[in-house]
Amino acid sequence: MPEIAIYQVDAFTDRPFAGNPAAVCPLEAWLPDAMLQAIAAENNLAETAFFVPQNGTGEGDYRLRWFTPAVEVPLCGHATLASAYVIARHIDPQMEKVVFHSASGPLTVTRAGDVFTLDFPSDPPASFEDRGAVAAALGSVPREVLKPAKQGGKLLALLASEAEVRGAEPDMERVKALPGDGLIITARGETVDFVSRYFAPHAGIPEDPVTGSAHVVLTPFWSARLGKKILRARQVSARGGDLTVEDRGARTLISGKAAPYLEGRIRV
The answer to whether residues 53 and 29 touch, using CB atoms and an 8 Å cutoff, is: no
Q: What is the DSSP letter of 149?
A: S
The span from the CA of 222 to the CA of 68, in Å, is 28
Q: How many whole angstroms separate alpha carbon 167 and alpha carbon 76?
A: 25
Pairing state between β 97-102 and 72-73: unpaired
Q: Which residues are catalytic?
A: 47
> Kindly report the CA angle at 177 between 186 and 151, in degrees rounded to 5?
70
Residue 249 and residue 94: Cα distance in Å, rounded?
30
Cβ atoms 51, 64 nearer than 8 A:
yes
